[in-house]
Structures are given as C-alpha cells and as structure tokens.
Amino acid sequence: MTAEKIKIALLGLGHMGLPTAALFAKNGFEVVGIDINPDIVDIVNAGRSPIMEPGLDELVQKVVEKGYLRAENNISKSLKNSNVMIILVPTPIDDNHCSDLSAVISASETITKALNKDDLVIIESTVPPHTCEKIIIPILEKSGLEASHDFGVAYTPERALPHNTLYEMTHNARVIGGVDEESANKAAALYKKITHGEVVIVDNLVTAEMVKLMENTYRDTNIALANELALICESLGIDAVQAIKAANFHPRVNLHAPGPGVGGHCLSIDPYFIVEMAEKGNRPAKLIKTAREINDFMPYHVAFLIEKTLQDNGKSLNNSSVGILGVSYKGNVADTRETPAEPLIKNLISKGARVIAHDPLVDEGFIKQIGGSKVELEEALEADCVVLITDHDSYRQITPEMIKKSIFICTRPILDPAEFRKRGVIFKGVGRP
Ligand SMILES: NC(=O)c1ccc[n+]([C@@H]2O[C@H](COP(=O)([O-])OP(=O)(O)OC[C@H]3O[C@@H](n4cnc5c(N)ncnc54)[C@H](O)[C@@H]3O)[C@@H](O)[C@H]2O)c1
C-alpha cells in the first residue's frame, strides 16, 4: 500500500480527526479533510488548528503549506477522488443516555454518494456494538455496491488522549476489525504508516467496536469505585487519597483517583453505549450503570461539601462567593464537554451562591452560559470558599497563603493537605475528611 496511490478523505476535523488527517498528510498521503463547519475548514486551510493541542498548529501549518492536507465543504468531488474514507465524527448521547448516531449516519450517507469499487471505508468514531454491521454498511450498500465483495470496511477505534494526542496516535497500539480479512489487513497497512504502536487485528468489526467501549468502561468503573471508596472513607474519617496510594503499592491493584466526577467525550458517554445495547438484548449492565450513576453524583457531593464546610464555619452557601478553579473536564485541556463543573456550578447557583470561576484555557462564553462569571485567578482565590475542580498544571503552584478566606475544597489529589492545614487553611476534598 503506497502513499502515492492512496487518497484519503477524512470526515470530521475535530479533536481526533484533524490530528489523524495531519499525521497521514505528514507521512506523504494526499488528504482531504471534510467538515460541515465552514469555520473549521477556513482555519485549517489557513494552516492553523482550531483545536488547542500541543504540536498540532505547527503540524497543520507544515502539511497544508506542502499541499498534503486541505479542508473542504465541497463534499462529493473530493470524496469521488478518494479511495480511503475515514469517519471520525462525534457520537454523543441524548438526554435519555441513548446513542445519537446522526453524525455517523449523515457521514455514511455522504460517502455512499461517492463510493467506488475497491474503496476502503474506515470508521474511527466510538459507536455501540454492531453499528458498523447494522447501520453503516446498509447505508453504504445503498450505493449499489456490496461490502466485502465490492468495497472494504474496517473499524479502528480512536484511543488517543487529548493534550498528548499526536504522541499517542503515533505510539499507542491500534485495534482493527474488518468486514473481512482483506479490509482489516488494508487498514492495518495504512495505520502502520502513522504509528510505531502494535497493530492488533481482531476477528471482526463488532469485536473492535467493543474493545473501545470496554477500555473506557474499565476506566469509568474504576473511577466510580475510587469515588465510592472516597465517600465511605469521608464518613469514616479516613483520607482516601492516602489509602488508595498505599493500596496501589500492591502489585495487582491499580485504583484510579477519586474526584469531582467524570467528563469529556469518552468516559462519561461510552459506557452508556454498552448499557443501551445490553438492555436491548435483555442483559442489564448493572455494574456499568451504577458506576455511571456514582460518577454523575459526584458534582452534587462536591456541592454538599462546599455547603457543609461553609456552614461549619458560620457561613451559609446562600450569598457566599464560591471561587471555582478550573471548568474544563480535565487538566491542561480546554474541552468542557460533559464537564462536572457544569452541574456543580448550576447547583451552587440554584442554592443562591455567587459563583466566580477561573480557567486558564476556557473562554468566558462557556462560563457565562452555565451561570458563572470568569475572573482572574487572584479574584477566585478571594472567594468565601475556593474549590479546585480541574487539575491544570498551573494550579499545582497554589500555596496556603493564596487562599485568602481560608476555606479550600480541593477535589483533585494534586496538593498536600498537611501543607495547607499547617498554615490554618480549612482543607477538604473528595475522600478527604
Ligand atoms: N475527544 C476525545 O478525547 C476522543 C478520544 C477518542 C475517541 N473519540 C471519539 O472520536 C469521535 C470524534 O470525537 P471528537 O472529539 O474528535 O469530536 P469533535 O466534536 O471534536 O469533532 C467532530 C467534528 O466532526 C464534524 N462533523 C459532524 N458531522 C459531520 C459530518 N456529517 N461530516 C463531516 N464532518 C462532520 C464536526 O463539525 C466536528 O468538527 C467520537 O466518536 C469520539 O467518541 C474522542
């Protein structure tokens, strides 16, 4: 499989799609990135990245300048000229926790209009089990061509970590399942051009779909266990963070860290894809569902901690100021999708608190939209109660002297409680009585 013969069209130039497109372009493939958002198309064609991701701006600039990557809205023409089409569009859930596959369906319909014999369609979006076989392939076959006989289909989940995306895309193992062996092998040969990681071929499409969901469900469930243990530790007067750290010295234990809840486009969504399919098959996913409930409850527990700590110190939440540090769903990223900061801030406001928030990476618009106001770090630190939600690296420099009114709820295990308590700060946290 040589780069000269392969023309790649990648649908969805988002957090995962743009780095993938840029990496294929870097390795000499002619890549057209297709996105329904014209602003993204313009930014990419100007040689920039609309996403904040280390190294991506420079890479996009280089490959666009060299002519290996261009972005388009003009869907049909570019697709017709491509022989590998990659789908990397969003797959959110709706209010009932059911998968919303509308973007995957519309991307598949777009490809169907331009599908040629011997093309290879690769799906990277995270999807519920059997989506490729039961939803995507039937759409593609409306072209009159038959999967496996006339065109190939492979599924390879994207598993890179935001803020380290380019490294992980080029070093992580890649799992691939195909509609047939030829499709899987073709996709494997292609991804070997961009990754040093191992390429693992599994039996079929649905196994590869399930692998991704298992990985994120493992992590979500592990965090839920840590959160439940933290809640129990709190009630027993035990520092859960210290206990978990010590437990992890056991060679076969790897408990994750407790925290304010789980956000992002993966962990807080993907387990529901398993729950949805399990329930359709009359095999309830009890543990997975409970883990989701525990993690979704955590922002409300943080709100309780804030209210109780203020009360214990003679203040009421109503009319107190709460300074939130960090609103993105995790440290060092600007992504606010499913962030636990949102239900927390809304809950605090509904109880009459005045919420001010600082985040070095998130702009004012999002904070305003959820009811808070964006302030400088110094102002947030002057609030009646300071609450650290996101483990941005810059917050590791916070010292006891910076907490002006002496109440600090630190929901991530990045600061030493003893240091703060020694200097008179009331330091509480998830699992930190
Ligand atoms: N963000 C992550 O950390 C991460 C990690 C691994 C896997 N994933 C999975 O990757 C997939 C994409 O996630 P993301 O975070 O990159 O999403 P994103 O929202 O950042 O980007 C998706 C892009 O697709 C575009 N789009 C939507 N419908 C389209 C269509 N029909 N045709 C062309 N473009 C379309 C959007 O305009 C957007 O630019 C999801 O299934 C997600 O679960 C995400």
Q: What are 331-363's pLDDT values in tens digits?
A: 999 999 999 999 999 999 999 999 999 999 999
Asked whether residue 256 falls in the same domain as residue 139, the answer is: no
Across the range 269-291, mean pLDDT stands at 95
For residue 411, the number of C-alpha atoms closer than 13 Å in the C-beta half-sphere is 32
Residue 135 counted as domain residue: yes
Asked whether residue 226 falls in the same domain as residue 184, the answer is: no
Asked whether residue 44 falls in the same domain as residue 187, the answer is: yes
Over residues 44-87, the pLDDT tens digits come to 999 999 999 999 999 999 999 999 999 998 776 788 899 999 99
d(CA 150, CA 57): 38
Q: Apex CA 220: angle with CA 246 and CA 248, to 5°?
A: 10
Please list the residues that pair with 153 across neighbouring strands: 121
Residues 6+ apart with CB under 8 A from 211: 157, 175, 202
Q: Ligand 1 centroid to 274 CA: how many Å?
A: 19
Q: How many domains, in total, are found in the chain?
A: 2
Structure tokens at 160: 């890179």
Asked whether residue 196 falls in the same domain as residue 243, the answer is: no
Answer yes or no: is pLDDT of 105 > 60. yes
Using the atom order of ligand 1, give the atom closest to the CA of residue 106.
Answer: 31
Asked whether residue 263 falls in the same domain as residue 409, the answer is: yes
DSSP 395: G
Asked whether residue 173 falls in the same domain as residue 236, the answer is: no
Structure tokens at 338: 């499913």
Which residues participate in catalysis according to the annotation? 212, 266
Over residues 356-389, the pLDDT tens digits come to 999 999 999 999 999 989 999 999 999 999 999 9
Which of 171, 203, 235 corresponds to the end of one domain? 203
Taking the CA atoms of residue 110, residue 116, residue 122 and residue 127 in that order, the dihedral angle to the nearest 10 degrees is: 40
pTM of the model as a whole: 0.94
We report the CATH number of the domain holding residue 167 as: 3.40.50.720
Question: What number of other Cβ atoms are within 10 A of residue 158's Cβ?
Answer: 21
Answer yes or no: is pLDDT of 1 > 60. no
Nearest CA to ligand 1 atom 13: 90
16 lines ligand 1 (CB under 6 A): yes
d(CA 105, CA 120): 17
d(CA 46, CA 336): 25
Per-residue pLDDT, 2: 58
Answer yes or no: is pLDDT of 91 > 90. yes
Per-residue pLDDT, 79: 87
Torsion over CA: 116, 42, 195, 126 (sign) = negative
Helix, strand, coil percentages (3-state) for the chain, rounded to 5, are 45, 15, 40
50 lines ligand 1 (CB under 6 A): no
Asked whether residue 249 falls in the same domain as residue 379, the answer is: yes
Answer yes or no: is pLDDT of 325 > 80. yes
Asked whether residue 225 falls in the same domain as residue 276, the answer is: yes
Over residues 10-43, the pLDDT tens digits come to 999 999 999 999 999 999 999 999 999 999 999 9
Residue 311 counted as domain residue: yes
Per-residue pLDDT, 5: 85
- 56-69: b or e for each residue (b if 16 or more CB lie within 10 Å)? beebbeebbeeebb
Residue 267 counted as domain residue: yes
Nearest CA to ligand 1 atom 21: 14
Residue 2 counted as domain residue: no
Domain of residue 40, residue span: 7-203
Best probe residue, ligand 1, of 10, 11, 16 (max atoms within 8 Å of C-beta): 16
Residue 209 counted as domain residue: no
Answer yes or no: is pLDDT of 4 > 90. no
Residue bearing tokens 């927390």 = 344
d(CA 246, CA 130): 41
Model confidence band, residue 268 (pLDDT cutoffs 50, 70, 90): very high
Residue 342 counted as domain residue: yes
Over residues 227-242, the pLDDT tens digits come to 999 999 999 999 999 9
d(CA 250, CA 113): 55
Asked whether residue 196 falls in the same domain as residue 225, the answer is: no
> What percent of the chain shows pLDDT beyond 70?
99
Structure tokens at 200: 């693992």
Per-residue pLDDT, 3: 60
Over residues 113-156, the pLDDT tens digits come to 999 999 999 999 999 999 999 999 999 999 999 999 999 999 99
91 lines ligand 1 (CB under 6 A): yes
Per-residue pLDDT, 78: 82
Which of 203, 228, 248 corresponds to the end of one domain? 203
Asked whether residue 55 falls in the same domain as residue 188, the answer is: yes
Across all residues in the chain, what is the average pLDDT? Answer: 96
Nearest CA to ligand 1 atom 20: 14
26 lines ligand 1 (CB under 6 A): no
Per-residue pLDDT, 62: 98
Cβ proximity of 339 and 349 under 8 Å = no
Model confidence band, residue 272 (pLDDT cutoffs 50, 70, 90): very high
Could you tell me the maximum CA-CA distance found in the chain, to the nearest angstrom? 73
Residue 66 counted as domain residue: yes
Per-residue pLDDT, 58: 98
Asked whether residue 118 falls in the same domain as residue 82, the answer is: yes
268 lines ligand 1 (CB under 6 A): no
Per-residue pLDDT, 77: 76
d(CA 290, CA 272): 11
**3-17, 156-170, 186-200, 317-331: least confidently modelled range:** 3-17
d(CA 185, CA 191): 10
Asked whether residue 150 falls in the same domain as residue 228, the answer is: no
Which of 203, 228, 255 corresponds to the end of one domain? 203
Model confidence band, residue 169 (pLDDT cutoffs 50, 70, 90): very high
Q: Ligand 1 centroid to 108 CA: how many Å?
A: 14
Q: Ligand 1 centroid to 258 CA: how many Å?
A: 28
Residue 433 counted as domain residue: no
DSSP 134: I
Nearest CA to ligand 1 atom 26: 12
- Return the closest-CA partner of residue 130 out of 244, 211, 209, 241: 209
